[in-house]
């Protein structure tokens, strides 16, 4: 499938397929539904980074619904605050509305390996811009992990028609670039978390991005200062990235979490510091329940 040809005209078809998957999955697990897992969810998350290319902050408002402990969906909308520092660009803060997104989550925990998957679709907020390619975005994300005492090795793998950054897809390496990409790309990440004590974890990972076919980059200020013009030179080199990340996750309660991190791009030889602050507002919609994986 050529994700570069996904357009707004096909969005109704994707939406219909999305709804059918939700209804089918809900029926499949209906007999194992635990009412304690059913209900609305809400998160407010701020993700920020500072690096060689500049600084940016994204405020991500996310509201979802868990049909049971296996199936859920979310809708969200990000707002970006950007300050590029590359030569030829104005070094001042600017803000822009990002592309709204919709995702379907499936989770299947078992004694052998825990597995979760998500399909995310983003809807363009404008024709083109700093954080919009003007095309519908789609990403299929997969997560595998296996807790071993205090260690939790994991593998993340996904494909899409660009690099999406949402609450569900918020690894440190996704927070380091001040642009959006358009073109088929696969991502792979392997690493581990270590539980230091209750509410405190440290982790690290190695990631790889593998593009295929033509690639375009939509940045905040292209060199010719024309807003939203795609940057095609060396785009495949930028998206063909390798690197590693490290983070510390502090979660003193189920309502709040803080995650400072670091990411290094081997291909681009760039470093970035990241931080994520999140509020879990789910308790506003339902009574406290057992925490999901």
Q: What does the block give as tokens for 190?
A: 């392997």
- pTM beyond 0.85, yes or no: no
DSSP type of residue 148: B
pLDDT the model gives residue 240 = 83
pLDDT the model gives residue 194 = 98
3-284 falls under which CATH superfamily?
monomeric porin ompg (2.40.160.40)
What is the Cα–Cα distance from 81 to 272, expressed in whole angstroms?
Answer: 16
Query: Are the CB atoms for 54 and 178 separated by under 8 Å?
Result: yes
Any alpha helices (H) in the chain, and if so which ranges? 11-28, 235-239
Residue 96 has, within 13 A of its CA and on its CB side, a CA count of 22
pLDDT the model gives residue 82 = 82
Backbone φ and ψ of 4, nearest 5°: -70, -20
pLDDT the model gives residue 236 = 66
Between the CA of residue 23 and those of 17, 32, 37, 72, 179, what are the distances in Å? Answer: 10, 15, 17, 11, 35
Cβ neighbours of residue 283 closer than 8 Å, sequence gap 6 or more: 254, 255
Q: What does the block give as tokens for 169?
A: 């897809």
Element of type H or E holding 55: strand 54-66
pLDDT the model gives residue 186 = 92
**How confident is the model over 99-151, as pLDDT tens digits?**
899 999 999 988 889 999 999 999 887 776 667 778 888 999 999 999 999 99
**How confident is the model over 15-48, as pLDDT tens digits?**
454 444 444 444 444 444 445 678 899 999 998 8
| Strand 256-265 versus strand 270-280 pairing type | antiparallel
For the chain, 293 residues long, the average pLDDT of each consecutive 10-residue run is 42 48 44 63 90 84 92 92 71 81 92 92 77 84 94 94 73 68 89 96 94 78 44 63 94 92 88 91 65 39
pLDDT the model gives residue 135 = 85
pLDDT the model gives residue 169 = 65
Backbone φ and ψ of 5, nearest 5°: -95, 5
- β-strand partners of 82: 56, 94
Query: Are the CB atoms for 240 and 199 separated by under 8 Å?
Result: no
Q: Is 26 exposed, middle or buried (0-12, 13-18, 19+ CB in 10 A)?
A: middle
What is the Cα–Cα distance from 272 to 50, expressed in whole angstroms?
Answer: 6
């Amino acid at each position: 499938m050529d994700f570069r040809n996904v357009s707004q005209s096909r969005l109704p078809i994707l939406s219909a397929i999305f709804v059918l998957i939700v209804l089918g999955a809900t029926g499949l697990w209906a007999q194992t539904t635990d009412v304690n897992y059913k209900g609305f969810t809400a998160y407010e998350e701020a993700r920020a980074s500072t690096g060689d290319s500049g600084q940016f902050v994204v405020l991500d408002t996310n509201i979802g619904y868990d049909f049971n402990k296996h199936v859920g969906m979310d809708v969200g909308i990000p707002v970006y605050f950007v300050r590029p520092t590359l030569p030829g660009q104005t070094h001042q803060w600017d803000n822009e509305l990002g592309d709204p997104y919709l995702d379907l989550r499936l989770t299947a925990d078992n004694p052998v390996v825990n597995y979760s998957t998500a399909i995310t679709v983003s809807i363009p907020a404008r024709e083109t811009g700093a954080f919009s390619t003007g095309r519908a975005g789609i990403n299929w994300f997969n997560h595998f992990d296996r807790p071993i005492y205090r260690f939790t090795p994991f593998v993340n793998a996904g494909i899409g028609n660009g690099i999406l950054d949402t609450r569900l897809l918020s690894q440190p390496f996704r927070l380091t670039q001040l642009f959006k990409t358009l073109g088929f790309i696969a991502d792979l990440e392997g690493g581990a978390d270590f539980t230091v004590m209750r509410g405190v974890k440290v982790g690290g990972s190695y990631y790889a991005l593998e593009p295929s076919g033509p690639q375009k980059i939509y940045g905040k200020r292209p060199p010719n200062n024309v807003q939203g013009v795609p940057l095609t030179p060396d785009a495949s080199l930028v998206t063909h990235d390798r690197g590693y990340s490290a983070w510390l996750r502090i979660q003193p309660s189920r309502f709040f979490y803080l995650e400072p991190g670091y990411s290094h791009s081997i291909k681009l030889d760039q470093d970035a510091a990241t931080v994520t602050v999140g509020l879990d507002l789910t308790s506003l919609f339902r009574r406290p329940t057992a925490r999901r994986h």
